[in-house]
Amino acid sequence: METFRFELVSPERLLKDTTAGMVIVPGMDGDFGVLPGHSPMMSSIRPGIVEIHENEGSEVERIFVKGGLAQVTPTGLTILAEEVIQLSDVDLSDLADNIVAARQNLDTAVDDVDKARATRELGWMEALSQVMSH
């Protein structure tokens, strides 16, 4: 199986630098797959799961990203993630409590900036909750 270079970067550090046969990215206009030789492009990323298929037959690695930017170049794919959450680190009870608090923050937001911030927080938490329930 042909591979390409894949990097996952958060604001704090380089999280992953590996080769992959395919990576599925949660783009703003829907999920898209990157394979070796993919045309160069850039896309915003919505909150969701990045699936990393290192090679044929290997276990798929799934990582939740809150959002970010994906850049495909002739040599590979780089994801600049706002924040990355390992699914194994998610406490469903805490997540449910945080969703309730985020909804309350949205209801009590006093201006457009607060509303936008609360909507964004609620959005990624609900996306993570949906992922965890499947």
pLDDT reported for residue 57: 79
pLDDT reported for residue 29: 92
pLDDT reported for residue 56: 78
Q: What is the pLDDT of residues 15-67, one digit of tens each?
A: 999 999 999 999 999 999 999 999 999 999 999 999 999 887 788 999 999 99
Taken as a whole, the chain contains a residue count of 134
pLDDT reported for residue 58: 83
pLDDT reported for residue 10: 92
pLDDT reported for residue 77: 97
CA atoms within 13 A on the CB side of 40: 3
Confidence of residue 134 (pLDDT cuts 50, 70, 90): confident
Residue 35 and residue 90: Cα distance in Å, rounded? 29
Confidence of residue 133 (pLDDT cuts 50, 70, 90): confident
pLDDT reported for residue 75: 87
pLDDT reported for residue 60: 93
| 33 DSSP β-pair partners | 24
Task: Please give the average per-residue pLDDT across 98-120, as a whole number.
Answer: 91
Residue 115 and residue 111: Cα distance in Å, rounded? 6
| 85 DSSP β-pair partners | 64
CATH superfamily, with its number, for domain 4-85: F0F1 ATP synthase delta/epsilon subunit, N-terminal (2.60.15.10)
- What does DSSP say about strands 61-65 and 48-53: parallel, antiparallel, or unpaired? antiparallel
Query: What's the predicted TM-score (pTM) here?
Result: 0.86
The two tokens of residue 60 are 């798929």
